[in-house]
Each structure stands twice: as structure tokens, then as C-alpha cells.
Amino acid sequence: MGIGLIVLSAFAYATTALANDDALPEPDSYWQGAMNGKVPATIAGGTVIATHQLTELIQRDNPVLIDVVPAPRRPLEQTSPWLPPPHRNIPRSVWIPGAGSGVISAAMTDYFRTRLNELTHQDHRKAIVFYCRVDCWASWNAAKRAIAEGYRHIYWYPDGVEAWQAAGLQTETATPEGPGVQ
């Protein structure tokens, strides 16, 4: 074995070891800390997917796509009329801001449950993809909620809409829905 191959093998091992040491473990329950930050590489009961896998899944299975990016809030100092900036998401997505919070209200719990049943036609085998923004816990929490509701084909797209856009894929303007949405 040549010295170059030995060095390359050692580098690959060290890189993998560092990546594994750096992996964030899944919390036991819903994440209640800051919603933006380092997220785990896994989701128990679900499947983590990348952009190319999501495009294949959309073509093959026509999954339900759920965006849980929090809705923008009116700035406190704003005294004149205010319109939130347009929100872009993956085409055919349903935008349910607040569904990925660490703790959600009874109204949001009921809405989330009812909306999943409607979107899947009460088929717990229907593929559902949850996403948010890159390094956003909201999509992880929402996916965990769907898993807890008994849905069996849950996909988590942790790279979010930014990765979708970076790949040159189309987005569309979204309208939020759910409790408290105006």
C-alpha cells in the first residue's frame, strides 16, 4: 500500500470520526430551544432526504409537502400598515406556520391532526415531506408529530427551501394556514 493511499485512508477515517463525533443526538421529545441551529442527522421513525431524493419522491409518489417555516411577525415598532414579505415554498406545498414549534396549542394540535387527515385522505401510508429552512428544528418537530400520529412514510428535508432554490428548482408564493393566521 502506497503512502498516498495510507494518508488518504487516515484522512477519510478522521473525517468520518469527526463527523460522527459532531453529530447532534436526537432529543427525547420535541425540540424546545432556538428553532434555528444545528439539527440532528436523523429522525427516528422517519427518513432524512436530500434535494435529489426529494425530486425523485415527488415524481414517483406525489407526496404531501408541508412547509412549517414560521410566519413573519409585524415589527413592534411598525405603526403604519404592514404587509409581510411574500413567502416562497416548494410547489404544491401546504404552509402551516407554527406546526413545528416545540410546544403547540390545543388548537394547533387539532388543526395539524385534521389537516394531515385531509391531505392524506386518512391514509397513514401516504408519503409526507416536512421542511422549513436549513438548520431549522420546526420541520423536525412537525415530522415527529406526524410520526406520533401514526403516519408511516414521513420524510424530513432538513436542507429546506434554500437548498431547493440553490438547485435551481422552482418555488411558488405560499399562503399560510392554521390557527391564528390572518
Q: How far apart are CA 124 and CA 153, in angstroms?
A: 8
What is the per-residue pLDDT for 19? Answer: 40
Is 5's pLDDT higher than 80? no
For residue 14, tell me if it sits in a domain.
no
Residues sharing a CB contact under 8 Å with residue 40, sequence separation 6 or more, in sequence order: 23, 24, 25, 26, 140
pLDDT over 70, % of the chain: 86
**What residues make up the domain containing 100?**
39-72+86-182
Predicted TM-score (pTM) above 0.75: yes
Q: What is the mean pLDDT of residues 64-74?
A: 89
What is the per-residue pLDDT for 6? Answer: 37
Half-sphere exposure of 100 (CA within 13 A, CB side): 27
What is the per-residue pLDDT for 180? Answer: 79
What is the per-residue pLDDT for 66? Answer: 99
Residues sharing a CB contact under 8 Å with residue 159, sequence separation 6 or more, in sequence order: 50, 51, 131, 134
For residue 27, tell me if it sits in a domain.
no
Is 150's pLDDT higher than 60? yes
Is 102's pLDDT higher than 90? yes
For residue 16, tell me if it sits in a domain.
no
What is the per-residue pLDDT for 156? Answer: 98
Closest CA to 155 of 64, 68, 86: 64
For residue 29, tell me if it sits in a domain.
no
Q: How far apart are CA 66 and CA 176, in angstroms?
A: 11
Q: How far apart are CA 66 and CA 139, in angstroms?
A: 9
For residue 13, tell me if it sits in a domain.
no
Q: How far apart are CA 86 and CA 80, in angstroms?
A: 18
Look at 15 and 85; give whichever has higher pLDDT.
Answer: 85
- Find the CATH number of the domain harbouring 168: 3.40.250.10
Q: How many domains does the chain have?
A: 1
For residue 18, tell me if it sits in a domain.
no
